Amino acid sequence: MGAVEGKVALITGAASGIGLATAQLFAYEGAQVAMFDRNADLVHETARDIGPSALPISGDVTSEEDVEQMLAACVAQFGRLDIGFNNAGIAGAAPIHDHELGHFQHVIDVCLTGVFLCLKHQSKQLIAQGEGGSLINTASINATQASKGLAAYCSAKAGVAMLTRVSALELGEHGIRVNAIGPGHTQTPMTERARDVEGFDEAMIGATPLGRLGEPEDIAQMALYLGSDASPWVSGQLFYVDGGITVNELPPGFNLLESSLRRPRSD
């Protein structure tokens, strides 16, 4: 019997990277999975690869209407919700003195407001069902670790960490657990730009006690634990999945990102 056999999970940012790896693992472990992503073509393609236990849904986590429709589609297809994994996010780098307001706000909207909207509507559904559930948010080591050029991202992820704690405090009386995962430097499409900076990966690996970069599957395994019945008394926590890098000082190479800050970028 799989770790989430018979459960229904809703995963945002599910078309690639951590979200896709988690959808694949949850489906393998017996869950029905609603996969939400703004890339309609890709989420439909990856859901087809998983099979009939996966439902593709396209939309934008910054739109409350889209989030409401996401929940409605999930419940219409599978009858309920048990696990929400609020994983959608974006990044981008710029020095604080040259940071465009529009880009700053966009990162906050996706990485923080999007998590809030998902928590709001997922928790409504779980409260209505009256059987508890597990809500999981993707934060980052940057929830507590500052990094040059990442004012928006660090601020958003710090917000996710606190939003997780507040939500756990409020929703505990309904039997709903809320936790966050703080990935270290993980090889996903979102981190490709950082990995293109010469010396960056080597610096990260050198500072990581386990001596390698993260894989999406590493994060998916923590999401599986938090979504399953193996963690019934775990709530309000931020779990770093980072190869141990947060017990070390980040190396000078971490700020090799600084060399790329002035290159224009559009998300």
Specify whether the CB–CB gap between 23 and 194 falls below 8 A: no
Could you give the CA distance from residue 97 to residue 262 in angstroms, rounded to a whole number? Answer: 11
Given the residues 28, 153, 225, 240, select the one marked as catalytic: 153
Instruction: State the DSSP H helix or E strand holding residue 21, giving kind and residue range, or none if neither.
Output: helix 17-28
Is position 153 annotated as part of the catalytic site?
Answer: yes
- DSSP of 73-140: HHHHHHS---EEEE-------B-GGG--HHHHHHHHIIIIIHHHHHHHHHHHHHHHHTS-EEEEEE--
Say what angle helices 216-227 and 17-28 make with each other, to 10 degrees: 50
Could you give the CA distance from residue 48 to residue 247 in angstroms, rounded to a whole number? Answer: 40
179 is written with which tokens?
């936790």
> Phi and psi for 66 in degrees, rounded to 5?
-65, -40
Residue 4: closest CA among 35, 28, 21: 28
Question: What residues contact residue 37 under an 8 Å CB cut-off, 6+ apart?
Answer: 12, 13, 14, 15, 16, 19, 43, 56, 57, 58, 88
Vertex 234: Cα angle to 230 and 238 (nearest 5): 115
Residues marked active site are found at 153
